[in-house]
A = this chain, B = another copy of it.
Amino acid sequence: MDSFEFVSPTKFILQKDADKLCGEEIKKISDVCLFVHYGDKFTYESGLHARITESLEAAGLEYYELPGVEPNPKVSLVRKGIEICREKNVGCILAVGGGSVIDTAKGIAIGVYYDGDVWDFYSKKAVPEKALPVGTVMTLPATGSEGSNGSVVKNAETGESADVMADFMRPAFTLMNPDLTLTIPKKQTVYGIVDMFAHVMERYFSSSVDVNLTDYMCEGVMKSIIVNAKALMKDLNDYNARAEFMWTSVVAHNGLLATGRNQDWATHTIGAQLSAQYNSVHGSTLSVLFPNWAKYVYRDNLPRFVQFANRVFGVEVDFYDQEKTALEGIRRMREFFKSMGAPSTLAEIGIDTDEKFAKMAEDACRFGNIGGLKVLAPEDVEAIFRMAVTDEI
């Protein structure tokens, strides 16, 4: 078991109408707030925008709006938010939406206190020292940003996606109203589920030993994801499964499941290159890449992949041929993704050429080689891209 530090100070409230509490929660922090959101059809037509502004007004708050967040959120919008916060003396940022909105809000929160360009934090030229408080109204459980210490944004000029992390970037509060997630279309629901499952796997596929508490919790969360995914694929309106996923999104990514162990974030990093170059949806990159990453690395920690197959997917262990068991576990992972309609090859997400494989492999390792269970160099990453052309395991 490795040493660790863990802090997750966010106040989480899950209940019907939880979003309506945003005004009173912000009021405890500041009188002036910036309300960041997608500004899309759903935000307005679902009544969400009205519910939020009513709550802000009822609490007597002065508020400004920053609509227009897109998937793979842009640093340009973060810069715009920073300007508003400085100009209007904003004391709290409210993010209403999914990971893109929250990541934008967190970027603004650290940028406000920095004289240079906020991209400096993402390009590792500078380290943030403090942040404005961010509160969230979660509408799309997936990235876990509503409980995590990180923000990922894209620089449209250079095509790069990058992250920044600090515990003071964790949200002050997160309000979870499961009703807001009932209308998430199937495709987005599935990508969210894949993202959550990946967040657990990236902590589970560790080379640290003697961490059975975290192991068992990871396995439990993965089993729960599988059960609730089945329920949702049967009925997208299943309130309980939707509620479970709101909470799963937090638990999978607030760091609890990484306590006492190293992690392996190679797949997220490799997938980010697909998003940067092809604007691929995050969840789709994970469903394509994760089984291929696993197939590429499983021999480096065979017992872990056997344990995964057995404990998470219930595969009977073939003690005479444990590789077979490990591969069957990886196959079940792929089957789980496919059973929800998630893609399993690069072609399925519209990438039918290998022309950028080498560049993306270099970019994935631009801050150094990646991975924990197995350290990957650019040639390994390129090999994984080549494997992802087919879905053979």
Residues of A within 8 A of B (CB): 1, 3-16, 210-213, 215-217, 219-221, 223-224, 227-228, 240, 243-244, 247-248, 251, 256, 259-260
Contact = CB atoms under 8 A, between A and B. Distances in A.
A170 B307 CA distance: 36
Contact of A240 (B1, B215, B240): B1
Contacts of A211: 244
Q: Across the A-B interface, give the 6 residue pairs with the lowest CB-CB distance, nearest first.
A: A216-B220, A3-B15, A9-B9, A210-B240, A220-B220, A7-B11
A376 B37 CA distance: 49
Contacts of A228: 212-213
Contacts of A216: 219-221, 223-224
B212 A244 contact: yes
Contacts of A256: 251, 256
Contacts of A5: 11-14
16 contacts: A3-B15, A3-B16, A4-B12, A5-B14, A7-B9, A7-B10, A8-B8, A210-B240, A212-B227, A212-B228, A213-B221, A213-B244, A213-B247, A213-B251, A217-B221, A217-B224
User: Copy number in this complex?
Assistant: 2
Nearest to A252: B213
Contacts of A9: 7-9
Contacts of A223: 212, 216
A262 B217 CA distance: 20
A224 B311 CA distance: 14
Given A6-B12, A213-B220, 16 more contacts: A1-B240, A3-B14, A4-B12, A4-B14, A5-B13, A5-B14, A7-B10, A7-B11, A212-B244, A216-B219, A216-B220, A216-B221, A216-B224, A217-B217, A217-B224, A220-B220
A204 to B, nearest CB: 12
Contacts of A15: 3-4
Given A3-B14, A220-B217, A223-B216, A259 B244 contact: no
Residue with the greatest number of chain B CB neighbours at <10 A, chosen from A7, A16, A212, A247: A212
Nearest to A246: B1
A32 to B, nearest CB: 24
A256 B12 CA distance: 11
A213 B248 CA distance: 7
A9 B173 CA distance: 11
Contacts of A13: 3-5
Contacts of A260: 14, 243-244, 247
Contacts of A240: 1, 210
A270 B212 CA distance: 32
A3 B176 CA distance: 10
A342 B120 CA distance: 58
A223 B8 CA distance: 25
A167 to B, nearest CB: 8
Contact of A220 (B4, B14, B219, B259): B219
A3 B17 CA distance: 11
A325 to B, nearest CB: 19
A217 B13 CA distance: 19
A210 B238 CA distance: 11
